[in-house]
């Protein structure tokens, strides 16, 4: 049994859905769980709708919901025009879902208050809509396909917008689902990204979380392969959206893929690889627009032998926090105190570098930053640098690769480097540059290693 996840661009319109159906039908009668995202851009639009509502701008919100409704109806007409019954069923469901969404918009705009709980509910419409349409399009094509609501088995804690999956519950519920729904069916279609607490309140796995859904189902179902179908033919040497001569990487290790995604490569959600490692399930990244290309196979570390630099990832907009305190000198417990503050606010720190009296660290977002800084200021001097980017060179056995530092920093010697972090892992050298230098830095590094 395989898991096939199709991202937003791979379901963006009726042509994309037809390609999806061809790809899936070529796998049958092998059993497959198909995980779909919302149509491209829909989660962003739902976010705007929620924001307009909470600002009391009900007209703006309703204008956007009307556009979304139109887009989904139009796609349905194109896919199901030959089957009146299915077309009517799906049209009715879409109209009903938008009526409910509009009700929520009105209530939120009256209250002018948007909780994370309401936001998660609103965001869940994107995947519910796409999966409903695609399910019926598959039936129309003649595939034996069951529909499953991910909120019944992807169970998380109550962090509504970035729920922590409850692995034990998921590992119990998914096999039950498969036994039930594969009876007489080859395919089960479900939604990525959306989830629920154990008592059924909507949550999400965080932006880009559909990849994670696919991996969680793969782990719980002991799948033979997890396929991530997207708009590029595999994981590339760097983001092909930013650099022109990137190459698809045929094979890479779990560790390399996890590190690349954690350090910014959007092609995989950062949590995707962990469930795959758990059961040693290969992950394949494939292009839904060019399905016969080989893409990238991600497999266990000991099956990937090639040493050296594999890829470059980056985070365009990060914040560097510098902490200075004479109290650090010859004392203990300082770092504990410092990191407890980040822990308390649930803010994760990416890079750290320390000297006798200084600690520099990087964070991804402004969330709770003011509170964090004011707490640190009680015992140290803090300064914040913005408009910085973080670049990571990822590969295997980097510590043993002679002359690597010279090649990396030689290639970008015209640029200022704010912070360097190497050594914590053998597969990553990361550093911070000015955001205005990022494009040149990445393209110079890419030239040095891959062109
Ligand atoms: P999906 O909607 O299918 O989940 P995403 O937009 O989330 O797709 O991820 C695919 C995008 O990831 C690509 O279009 C590409 O711009 C970006 N990306 C960033 N780094 C890489 C990389 N190293 N290799 C491939 N794609 C990358
Ligand atoms: N639709 C969600 C998002 O855009 C989840 C996903 O596509 O992975 O973030
Ligand atoms: Mg994605």
Pocket test for ligand 1, best of 240, 244, 311 (most atoms within 8 A of CB): 240
Cα 236–Cα 242–Cα 244 angle in degrees, nearest 5: 70
CATH topology of domain 310-450: VC0802-like (3.30.2130)
Question: 225-230 and 381-396 as β-strands: parallel, antiparallel, unpaired?
Answer: unpaired
Surface-to-core class of residue 192, CB atoms within 10 Å of its CB (0-12 exposed, 13-18 middle, 19+ buried): buried
Q: pTM for the whole thing?
A: 0.94
**What does the DSSP 8-state code read for residue 248?**
B
Cis check: omega of the bond before 29, within 30 degrees of 0? yes
Q: Give the distance between the most distant pair of CA atoms in the chain.
A: 78
pLDDT over 90 (residue 358): no
String of DSSP letters for 181-238: HSTT-SEEEEESSEEE-TT--EEE--TTTHHHHHHHHHHHHT-SEEEEEESSSS-BSS
Using a 6 Å cutoff on CB, does residue 8 contact ligand 1? yes
Q: Give the CA distances from residue 182 to residues 32, 133, 174, 194, in Å, rounded to whole numbers and listed in that order.
A: 9, 20, 12, 22
* CA 105 – CA 103 distance, rounded (Å): 5
Distance of CA 87 to the CA centre of its chain: 32
| Sign of the torsion angle spanned by Cα atoms 227, 229, 180, 207 | positive
Q: Give the CA distances from residue 430 to residues 109, 254, 256, 264, in Å, rounded to whole numbers and listed in that order.
A: 44, 19, 14, 11
User: In which residue are the tokens 């365009």 written?
Assistant: 316
Cα 289–Cα 295–Cα 296 angle in degrees, nearest 5: 145
Instruction: Classify 2-230 by CATH class.
Output: alpha beta
The pLDDT of 217-244, averaged and rounded, is 97
pLDDT over 80 (residue 332): no
What percentage of the chain exceeds 90 in pLDDT? 85
Q: What pLDDT was estimated at residue 328?
A: 65
310-450 has the same fold as 2-230: no
Using a 6 Å cutoff on CB, does residue 282 contact ligand 2? no
The pLDDT of 41-67, averaged and rounded, is 97
Instruction: Give me the residue spans of the domains in the chain.
Output: 2-230, 310-450
* CA 24 – CA 73 distance, rounded (Å): 23
Q: What pLDDT was estimated at residue 298?
A: 97
What percentage of the chain exceeds 70 in pLDDT? 99
pLDDT digits (tens, 9 = 90+) for 237-283: 999 999 999 999 999 999 999 999 999 999 999 999 999 999 999 99
Q: What pLDDT was estimated at residue 337?
A: 87
> 273-305 in b/e burial notation, b at 16+ Cβ within 10 A?
bebbbeeebbbbbbbbbeeeeebbbbbeeeebe
Q: What pLDDT was estimated at residue 424?
A: 65
Of 361, 407, 364, the C-alpha closest to 380 is 361
Ligand 1 atom showing the smallest separation from residue 40 Cα: 2
Using a 6 Å cutoff on CB, does residue 9 contact ligand 2? no
Using a 6 Å cutoff on CB, does residue 80 contact ligand 1? no
């Amino acid at each position: 049994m395989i898991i096939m996840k199709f991202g937003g661009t791979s379901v963006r319109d009726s042509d994309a859905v037809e390609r999806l159906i061809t790809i899936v039908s070529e796998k049958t009668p092998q059993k497959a769980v198909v995980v779909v995202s919302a149509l491209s851009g829909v989660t962003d639009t739902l976010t705007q709708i929620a924001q307009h509502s909470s600002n009391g701008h009900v007209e703006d919100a309703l204008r956007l919901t009307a556009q979304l409704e139109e887009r989904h109806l139009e796609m349905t007409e194109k896919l199901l025009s030959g089957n009146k019954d299915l077309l009517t069923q799906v049209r009715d469901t879409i109209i009903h879902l938008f009526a409910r969404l509009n009700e929520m918009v009105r209530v939120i705009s009256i209250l002018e208050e948007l909780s994370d709980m309401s936001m998660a509910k609103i965001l869940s419409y994107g995947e519910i809509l796409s999966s409903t349409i695609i399910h019926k399009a598959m039936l129309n094509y003649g595939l034996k396909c069951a529909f499953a609501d991910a909120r019944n088995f992807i169970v998380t804690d109550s962090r509504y917008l970035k729920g922590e999956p409850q692995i034990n519950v998921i590992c119990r519920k998914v096999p039950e689902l498969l036994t039930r729904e594969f009876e007489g069916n080859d395919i089960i279609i479900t939604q990525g990204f959306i989830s629920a607490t154990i008592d059924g309140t909507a949550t999400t796995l965080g932006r880009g979380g559909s990849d994670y859904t696919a991996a969680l189902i793969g782990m719980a179902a002991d799948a033979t392969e997890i396929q991530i179908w997207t708009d590029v033919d595999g994981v590339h040497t760097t983001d092909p959206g930013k650099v022109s001569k990137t190459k698809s990487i045929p094979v890479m290790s779990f560790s390399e893929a996890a590190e690349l995604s954690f350090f910014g490569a959007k092609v995989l959600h950062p949590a995707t690889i962990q469930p795959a490692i758990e059961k040693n399930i290969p992950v394949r990244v494939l292009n839904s627009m060019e399905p016969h290309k080989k893409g990238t196979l991600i497999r266990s570390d000991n099956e990937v032998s090639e040493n050296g630099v594999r890829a470059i990832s980056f985070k365009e907009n990060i914040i560097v926090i510098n902490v200075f305190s004479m109290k650090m000198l010859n004392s203990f417990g300082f770092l504990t105190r410092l990191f407890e503050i980040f822990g308390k606010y649930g803010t994760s720190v990416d890079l750290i570098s320390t000297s006798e009296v200084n600690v520099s660290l990087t964070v991804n977002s402004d969330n709770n930053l003011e509170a964090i800084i004011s707490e640190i200021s009680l015992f140290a001097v803090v300064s914040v640098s913005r408009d910085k980017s973080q670049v990571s060179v990822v590969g295997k056995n980097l510590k043993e690769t002679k002359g690597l530092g010279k090649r990396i920093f030689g290639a970008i010697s015209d640029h200022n480097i704010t912070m360097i972090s190497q050594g914590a892992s053998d597969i990553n050298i990361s550093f911070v540059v000015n955001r205005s230098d990022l494009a040149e830095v990445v393209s110079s590094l890419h030239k040095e290693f891959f062109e």
